[in-house]
Amino acid sequence: MTLRPPLDGVRVLELGSTVAGPAACRLLADLGASVYKIEPGDGDQLRTWGAIAPDGTGWWFKSHNRDKQLLTFDLRNADDVATVVSMALACDVVVENFRPGYLARLGLDAATLREKKPELIYLSISGYGQTGPYADRPGYGSIAESMGGLRYITGESDGPPMRMGISIGDEIAALYAVVGVLAALHGRARDRIGETIDVSLIESAFSLLQGALPEYAHAGHVARRTGNTLNSAAPSNVYPTRDGEWLAIGGNGQGIFRRLVTAMGQPELADDARFASNQGRRRHVALLDELIGAWTKTLDLADADAILAQAGVPAGPVMSVAQIVANPQFRARNAVVYARDDDGTPIATYASPVRFTERPLKVERAAGAIGRDQAAALEELGLRQQ
C-alpha cells in the first residue's frame, strides 16, 4: 500500500520572493504540502534571473517554484490584502521573507494573525532576524555569507574572500526554516498551539563554521582561508589528473591514509614520522599534497578514481552539471526529474534528496504563468477574491 506524502493536507501560504522563502516552500511542497505562492502583478523578481525560457520566465524560477499554486495580489490594495489575510487564516503555515515590520503595517504579521488563529505556524526568514540593531536592514544571502563568516574562510590562502558559487546562505536558511516548520507541526499536533519562527540568514551562515567558534573561544585561533584543504585534517584536497581533470580525495583518517598511500604504491609514507598522525599531516600538508598530486598526474581521472574506490579511499571527480547529469550514480538514483510546464513541456529539476519508502514523493508541475491558479486556489480554500 502506498501512503499519502507526509505533509499531504498541510496548507502553506508563501509570501516570499527570490530564494530563501520560496526554497523553504519548495521543500514543503516536495513533502506534500499545498503551497499557495503570492506574487505581485509583475511577478517574483526571480522570474528574470539567469537564463530565460522562450515564454519569458527564467528556467531557474520554473524549477525553484515547482508544485506550487500561483496567485497574484497587490499588497498596496486594501481588498487584495483582505483576501490574503483570509488565505493566511485558512492555512496551517505562513512563510514570509519581507523586511521585518513591513507586513505588520498590513495586518499580515505573526502577532496579528496568531491572535486570530493561535494554532497558525508563522515563519519569518530575514537577513538579520526579527530583533537586534540590524533587524531593519535589507539582507541578501551574499551579505549573510560575508557577515556570517563563510566567505572569510572561502578562497585561496593568498586570495580574496570568495562566494561558494551558489546562494548557500539562502539555501541553508531555507533548510533550517523547514526544520522549524516540521518541529512546529509536531508540537502543534501535541499541544494544539502554533508557533512563531524566526530564521536569519546571518545566523544560518554562522552555524556552518564548524570548529571555528570553539577553537577561537578556547584557543584563540581565527580560521582563515585554506583553499581546498581542510583546516582540521589532512590530506583532503582536489588533485590534477593526467587528462586535465580534478579528483577530490579525502585521506584524512589513520586507516584511510594507509590505504591511500598503499594504493599510490608508497606504503612507507604511512610510517613516515611526518605523516604518522593527523597533526603531523596537517603540519606537512603542502608536501603531502605535492606527493599525492604527483601520483594523480600519472593517471587519467577514471583510472585514479577506480584505483581509490577499489582501495576503499573516499574519492570522486570534480564534476560539472553536464557530467553530473550523465553520471551513473545520479542516473541510477533518478536525481534529475521533470516537471510539466504550462504547455506540457518537461522542465528538468532536482529530485528531492529525501527519499521515503512508504510515502514516495513526486514532482509534477513547473512554475508557470503569474496568477495561473488564482481561481482554483481560492475555491480550494473556500474563499473568493474581494
Q: Which residues participate in catalysis according to the annotation?
A: 170
Q: Which residues pair with 125 in a beta bridge?
A: 199
Pairing of strands 246-250, 236-240: antiparallel
Q: Look at residues 190, 167, 174 and name the one whose alpha carbon lies nearest to residue 96.
A: 174
Residue with cell 518541529: 183
Helix axes 168-191, 20-30, angle to 10 degrees: 50
DSSP helix/strand/coil, 19: coil
Per the omega criterion (within 30 degrees of 0), is the bond before 235 cis?
A: yes
Q: Look at residues 239, 219, 168, 201 and name the one whose alpha carbon lies nearest to residue 99.
A: 201
Pairing of strands 34-39, 11-15: parallel
Q: Which residues pair with 250 in a beta bridge?
A: 236
Would you say how long the chain is, in residues?
386
